Amino acid sequence: MLIFSVWPMLLSVAFMVVVPLCATGRIKSNPIVGIRWASLRTSEVAWQTGHRAAMPATYVGGVLAILAGIGFEFVPNSGIAGPLVSFAFLLIGFGVASAAALRAVR
């Protein structure tokens, strides 16, 4: 099950790296990387403001996803529960981060 637990953890790390890079302007508004809501892509200020607002939830969701992925590796017979819980934390964290980004831009 280790291989299934690694994917959500890698995605969590990727989100925790990309969102701050977008918030600081090192990654400019683009159609590929970052939170790509139309309202965030109207200007560089909106892009950075939205990503800055998304950072706390991104970190919380990412850290919880990583901890769940690691933690379930030590639970005997946990099966697919670890990766599912890890993905759930990742998706919830990114959903909350996305909502915070939209709220900050409005």
Which range has the worst mean pLDDT, 42-46, 69-73, 98-102? 69-73
For residue 1, name the pLDDT band (cuts at 50, 70, 90). low
Q: What's the mean pLDDT in 36-58?
A: 96
**What is the pTM (predicted TM-score) of this model?**
0.89
What residues have CB less than 8 Å from 83, skipping those under 6 apart? 1, 4, 5, 7, 8, 69, 72
DSSP label at residue 36: -
For residue 81, the model assigns a pLDDT of: 83
For residue 83, the model assigns a pLDDT of: 86
What residues have CB less than 8 Å from 52, skipping those under 6 apart? 23, 104
- The amino acid at 94: F
pLDDT at 16 over 90: yes
Q: What's the mean pLDDT in 14-25?
A: 97
